[in-house]
């Protein structure tokens, strides 16, 4: 997923329409988990890529 996908989920959870949602695990992966099996994924997706995070000094 993209950062905007995460933001939209956070906004939805903060809104009134999610009042009955408790203890859930949401997968926001752009549909990867619904697509090809892990073994059939392109090599780029199966290899390790560290996440770059901004850390203020």
Q: Where are the domains of the chain?
A: 3-46
Q: Is 7 helix (H, G, I), strand (E, B) or coil?
A: helix
Q: Which pLDDT tens digit goes with each residue over 7-45?
A: 999 999 999 999 999 888 888 877 777 765 666 767 766
Q: Evaluate if residue 46 carries a pLDDT over 90.
A: no
pLDDT value for 18: 92
pLDDT of 55 reads 75
What distance, in Å, lies between the first and last C-alpha atoms of the chain?
Answer: 28
Contact between 6 and 28 (Cβ < 8 Å): yes
Mean pLDDT of the 44-54 span:
71
**pLDDT the model gives residue 56:** 77
């Amino acid at each position: 997923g993209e950062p905007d996908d995460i933001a939209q989920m956070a906004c939805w959870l903060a809104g009134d329409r999610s009042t009955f949602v408790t203890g859930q695990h949401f997968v926001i992966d752009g549909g990867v988990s619904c697509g090809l099996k892990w073994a059939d994924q392109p090599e780029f997706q199966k290899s390790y890529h560290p996440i770059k995070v901004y850390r203020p000094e």
